[in-house]
Amino acid sequence: MAEVVTPSDALGSVRERFSALQAGFAFLDAPGGSQVPDEVGDAIARALREASANLGAGYQTSFRVKEILEEAEAKAARFLGCAPHEVTFGPNMTSLNFVFSRTAGRDFAPGDEIIVSSLDHDGGVGPWRELAADRGLVLKHVELHPDTTYDFDDLRSKLSDRTRVVAFAWASNAVGTLTDAAQVCRIAHEAGALAWIDAVHYAAHEQIDVRAVDADVLLCSPYKFCGPHLGIAYSREAVSSTWRPYKVIPAPNEPLGRRFATGTLPYELLAGFNATIDYLDSLGGFDAIGPFERSLGEHFLATMPDAVTVYGLPTMDGRVPTFLINVEGVAATDVAAALAKRDIGVWAHDSWYSLNLYKRLGYDGDAVRLGFIHYNTIGEVDRLVEALGDCARGG
């Protein structure tokens, strides 16, 4: 059995900071969204009480909104590894992806090509599919190896002098598989294309550095890493400064990232985001979070019943602790319902919005998705394993 990493003192006491975790329910559904520490909710409520205003007025609540926004831009920049003026906020990742894809696509011509991955959530594909339909573009999918890893040879074979964007998910929201982001970005740039990353699932588990991987656009969502429902986008200044944004004329053009916002920002959620980053910092960041989460995944893989099938990679190498499974002879919906009765939260679904992935995995109907995050415990993993064993035995 794999050795379990002992949490740091900060991680060991983290559950005390979540009201949602005090009733004993095991939230093993982090891939669908995380629980939120009380301090994040408190920050949101405080902003609604003390900073219900907009930018530009000459009184205190407006000054406070300005402080919240500037703090959020600075903290998002540190989280992503970019400059504050390269950050844009929006309601969610998908909305931002529609905004940025449509903005970039102003300069595309009929017959230009967009490449996406067969591993992707449709939030990373749908905006390009719709743009292709509107503008006469060609949408291509990069194939996967049988183990769900990205096929770089297939990517190279599909590039041409008409390729404008190579878009991909850094981590699969369905099966947890990671893609080598730096390699995709390098290949895209060699072909003269933009490198466009969906980091929604990756951002909950590993540190992001957009400069290190050389991304042009990257999008993520704080609700996956204990924050509010919000979208965050990075866009490389050298690229996005050349784009004409979809915006109302009086809205500011500077700083750069704000020109892509389509209306008033949710300042109270930005205050919650600021508290989220403070929370993650207090744990030691992903240097502390990553090893512990991986140990939870290793423990699950080492102890799960033989009747459980895991789709995708069979070890923690090359993945985050998100698992798509089925129990032999038991419908996924029945497994999820049985676990819920034992106060264990997982989901059953068919595609998991990964429309070019799920039919390759070999299951009929639905599969169960579960995932661990840093507030989960070895005890919760053991409860899950016992419950899955009981399901397999008809219990």
Give the pLDDT confidence of 217-257 residue by residue, as tens digits. 999 999 999 999 999 999 999 999 999 999 888 888 899 99
Q: 229 and 124 share a domain?
A: yes
Between CA 154 and CA 163, with CA 160 as vertex, the angle to 5 degrees is 95
Q: 199 and 103 share a domain?
A: yes
Mean pLDDT of 373-385: 97
Q: 99 and 238 share a domain?
A: yes
Q: 290 and 166 share a domain?
A: no
Task: Give residue 6's region: left, alpha or beta (phi > 0; psi -120 to 50).
Answer: beta
Q: 131 and 183 share a domain?
A: yes
Task: Select from 280, 295, 330 the last residue of a domain.
Answer: 280
Q: 175 and 256 share a domain?
A: yes
State the Cα–Cα distance between residues 203 and 30, nearest whole angstrom.
12
On whether residue 219 sits in a domain, the answer given is yes
Q: 242 and 116 share a domain?
A: yes
Q: 199 and 344 share a domain?
A: no
Mean pLDDT of 318-333: 98
On whether residue 50 sits in a domain, the answer given is yes
On whether residue 4 sits in a domain, the answer given is no
Q: Is the dihedral of CA 373, 93, 88, 112 positive or negative?
A: positive
pTM of the model: 0.96
Q: How many residues does the chain have?
A: 395
On whether residue 45 sits in a domain, the answer given is yes
Q: 275 and 310 share a domain?
A: no
Domain carrying residue 87: 41-280
On whether residue 222 sits in a domain, the answer given is yes
DSSP code string of 14-70: GGGG-GGGTT--EE-BGGG-----HHHHHHHHHHHHH----TT-SSHHHHHHHHHHH
**pLDDT(1) > 50:** no
Q: Which residue has the tokens 């070019």?
A: 356
Contact 125, 101 (CB under 8 A): no
In the chain, the percentage of residues whose pLDDT exceeds 70 is 97
Instruction: Give the closest residue to 137 by CA, choosing from 108, 116, 161.
Output: 108
End-to-end CA distance of the chain: 26
* CATH code, domain with 114: 3.40.640.10
Mean pLDDT of 146-152: 98
pLDDT in tens, 103-135: 999 999 999 999 999 999 999 999 999 999 999
State the Cα–Cα distance between residues 297 and 1, nearest whole angstrom.
12
Number of domains in the chain: 2
On whether residue 1 sits in a domain, the answer given is no
Angle of helix 378-392 relative to helix 285-303, nearest 10 degrees?
30
pLDDT in tens, 74-109: 999 999 999 999 999 999 999 999 999 999 999 999
Q: Could you tell me the strand order of the sheet in which 347-349 lies?
A: 308-311, 322-327, 367-371, 347-349
* CATH code, domain with 383: 3.90.1150.10
Beta partners for 187?
none
Instruction: Give strand ranges (E) for the chain.
Output: 26-27, 87-90, 113-117, 138-142, 163-169, 194-198, 217-220, 231-235, 308-311, 322-327, 344-345, 347-349, 367-371
Whole-number pLDDT of residue 175: 98
Q: Look up residue 56 and give its amino acid.
A: G
Lowest mean pLDDT among 4-8, 161-165, 334-338: 4-8
State the Cα–Cα distance between residues 183 and 204, nearest whole angstrom.
21
Higher pLDDT: 133 or 3? It is 133
On whether residue 212 sits in a domain, the answer given is yes
On whether residue 331 sits in a domain, the answer given is yes
Q: Look up residue 191 and give its amino acid.
A: A
